[in-house]
Chains A and B, each alone.
Chain A
Amino acid sequence: MHPAPSIIAFSTFSGLGLGLLFWLGVDNTPPTGWVGFAFFGIAYVLAVGGLVSSTFHLGRPERALKAFTQWQTSWLSREAWCAVVALVTMGLYAFFLVFFGRQLPILGWFGAFFCLMTVYTTSMIYAQLKTVPRWNTALTSWLFLSLSIAGGALLSGRVTIALILLLLAGGMQFLWWKLGDKRFADSGTDMKTATGLGSIGDVRAFEPPHTGTNYLLDEMVYTVGRRHAEKLRLIAFVLMLVLPVILLLLPFPHVFGVLALVSHVAGVLVSRWLFFAEAEHVVGLYYGLR
């Protein structure tokens, strides 16, 4: 699948921002006043910035509001609703904390729940697709959720929790990669079922329908960079997990905490790039490609 920068930025940064909002929502002693303003400010810049960047890949962004109508069937529509509910609720919660120093825990918990639901609905946009076997697993949701709350914990300065959650997210990432490598073969879809000609013999693509490229090949048969996948996986894993964990175990958590955060985010960006670039859509089979 084509790794659109807008989508990679969206899912990474909004996941991080929503993770931070989640921790602020469930905090017993949340920051108030200017400190609170700073924390919520960062969370909103990340979450809203991510959501806005996701509209850049739309063909017709001016009609984006119509995406709220089909919540009964569409995960994308559900995501839009969850994001609005989460951001409005957490906005009210932040308003009372920042300007009146008052915590309304019910708002906080409600908002935190919808922050997680937003990340979950985002993950389901990918996990629902049978056409992309690597994504089509419940592990995709666990991966997105664990990365979001681990990043949020790191961003909110929860060192011990962040350490545990980073290890958890790293484990998810490892599992997702290892199991994902087999999913295309396990899906049972191959050139024989795609063409229905398997009963005659082995099928080979002889000539494609067009001499140039097209939308399908650009969008869904993106093969650039796959040969570097193993190296990129290693880079992502070191940046998102190994380095941050080492940095968090060092003294002076404020200095190294920031470095850990930067490293983690860079690692998640690489991993998210791979999430798309490595994902193979079954339509590639019609072209004899993966």
Chain B
Amino acid sequence: MTQLPKTTERKMGLVIDLDTCVGCHACVVSCKGWNTENYGAPLSDQDPYGSNPSGTFLNRIHSYEVQPESGPAQLIHFPKSCLHCEDAPCVTVCPTGASYKRVEDGIVLVNESDCIGCGLCAWACPYGARELDRAEGVMKKCTLCVDRIYNENLPEEDRVPACVRTCPSNARHFGDLGDPDSEVSQLVAERGGMDLMPEQDTKPVNKYLPPRPKDMLNDGPREEIDILAPLLAPVVEEPKGFLGWLDKTLEKL
């Protein structure tokens, strides 16, 4: 049913740390790798080795340059996938009931056997989280790795979304954002986690942690920051005795 549940028992989602993301795209690769061979249709590519390659991805990394009023510009890598919104506009527009939000954990999913590929849900999503698979003709989106997180065939440490498991800089966190005591909720409270496009009234479950203030590298005089200088002093003293004589003699030649 495309009616949204009034509340969900849990609000499973991601917290993405814009401070620590290094923009390596490892989560993009692991997401595509896991999801192309598990839930639903494969994530197809079109013309993958040709001159105009494109393909279906559930997670993409943008990079932005932010220019503060003073100081150098900052480069911020920005992972973006489905935010599993509480008021998901993509769900209510669906004419077939293929899109739905689960009551038990709040995950927004597409039942691909009901999807007619009209694309209206992708139009309704402000975040570009849904992509129509051009080979399969159905809508693809992040499933929060619903086939991993409850999968008892996997070792416990693997029961998190593939992107979270793979992130080498620990910039992605997974948990219940409906529980104020959960680690992710505390992280959001501590770091001032934010919503994307709050004015669109979608109430995203996923939160983004803003970058921490940068060190003021160029503010102070140069000497102060040369903290490695003492360590760089030569540790090998000049040779003495026969070797010293040899060294000097050879230098003069």
Contacts and interface: CB of A to CB of B under 8 A. Distances in A.
Contacts of B133: 59
Interface of B: 1-3, 18, 25, 28, 52-57, 60-69, 74-76, 78, 80, 89, 91-98, 114-120, 122-128, 131-134, 136-139, 194-201, 208, 210-211
B196 A193 contact: yes
Task: Name the residue in B97, B123, B137 with the highest tally of chain A Cβ atoms < 10 Å from its Cβ.
Answer: B123
B123 A129 contact: yes
Contacts of B137: 58-60
Contacts of B76: 195, 197
A59 B126 contact: no
B124 A70 contact: no
B199 A187 contact: yes
20 contacts: A58-B116, A59-B117, A76-B120, A187-B199, A191-B64, A194-B126, A195-B78, A196-B195, A203-B65, A205-B63, A206-B65, A207-B63, A209-B61, A213-B52, A214-B57, A219-B132, A220-B128, A282-B197, A282-B200, A286-B62
Given A200-B66, A213-B52, A76 B126 contact: no
Given A76-B93, A187-B199, A58 B118 contact: yes
A230 to B, nearest CB: 26
A231 interface: no
A178 interface: no
A189 B56 contact: no
B126 A125 contact: no
Contact of B123 (A197, A209, A220): A220
Interface in A140-193: 187-189, 191, 193
Interface of A: 1, 57-61, 63-64, 66-70, 72-77, 80, 125, 128-132, 187-189, 191, 193-197, 199-210, 212-216, 219-220, 281-283, 286-287
B124 A129 contact: yes
A206 B75 contact: yes
A60 B117 contact: yes
A86 B23 CA distance: 54
A194 B197 contact: yes
A216 B210 contact: no
B62 A196 contact: no
Nearest to A69: B97
A220 B125 CA distance: 11
B117 A58 contact: yes
Contacts of A189: 126, 197, 199-200
Contact of B127 (A67, A69, A283): A283
A70 B100 CA distance: 11
A59 B200 CA distance: 27
B2 A74 contact: yes
A212 B52 contact: yes
Given A58-B116, A131-B124, 19 more contacts: A1-B123, A59-B118, A59-B138, A60-B116, A63-B96, A66-B96, A73-B3, A74-B92, A76-B118, A129-B123, A131-B125, A132-B123, A195-B78, A201-B68, A205-B63, A210-B57, A216-B128, A281-B123, A282-B126
